[in-house]
Amino acid sequence: MLKDYYAILGISEDATLTEIKQQYQKLLLINHPDKQQQNQSQMTSSSTPTLIPLQDIKEAWEYLRLPAQRAFYDSSLKAMRLRANGQVNDDIDLDDMDFDEETGIYSSPCRCSGEYVITEDELELGVDIVVCSTCSLIVRIHYEIADDQDYAN
């Protein structure tokens, strides 16, 4: 299951890179093991804050700091949420979609004149839910993940 890095950092999904970086640095300071020992000696047990693992904070920063990586993460997070809601309107076979070899993007037209778009990278991550580019219709893409051994032969 995909982690919600926005929730881990305690920021909104439309936060700017500056806001993300400031929150990342703030959480690193608060949750650093040395800082935790100092805070625990000064606080009573009832006022001890919930600590966030440093690994989660660092991982969130790594995913959200680069625009292309953040966009990819956002689309994966959106697909995961849609899958959880189960609001799929139709099913499309990957073989029935158009493929652009230069960009590595599969697309299929929607009835509203928009289109469903999914990248090879998203497919490799197991993303199979796509939202139309102009309306709210959602489709599930059916495909099989190719085994690397299939290409080796």
pLDDT of residue 83: 64
pLDDT of residue 49: 59
- Hey, what CATH topology would domain 1-65 get? Helix Hairpins (1.10.287)
Report, as an integer, the average pLDDT of 112-141: 86
- Hey, what CATH topology would domain 87-153 get? Microbial ribonuclease fold (3.10.660)
Quickly tell me which residue has 């000064």 as its tokens: 42
pLDDT of residue 78: 79
- At 153, is the pLDDT very low, low, confident or very high (cuts 50, 70, 90)? very low
Q: Where are the domains of the chain?
A: 1-65, 87-153
Flag whether pLDDT at 46 surpasses 70: no
Task: Give the list of residues 6+ apart from residue 80 with CB closer than 8 angstroms, or none.
Answer: 1, 2, 129
Q: What percent of the chain has pLDDT over 70?
A: 80
Contact between 101 and 42 under an 8 Å Cβ cutoff? The reply is no
Can you tell me whether residue 3 is helix, strand or coil? coil
Global pTM reads 0.54
pLDDT of residue 73: 87
Flag whether pLDDT at 151 surpasses 70: no
- At 15, is the pLDDT very low, low, confident or very high (cuts 50, 70, 90)? very high
CA distances from 151 to 146, 147, 148 (A): 8, 7, 6
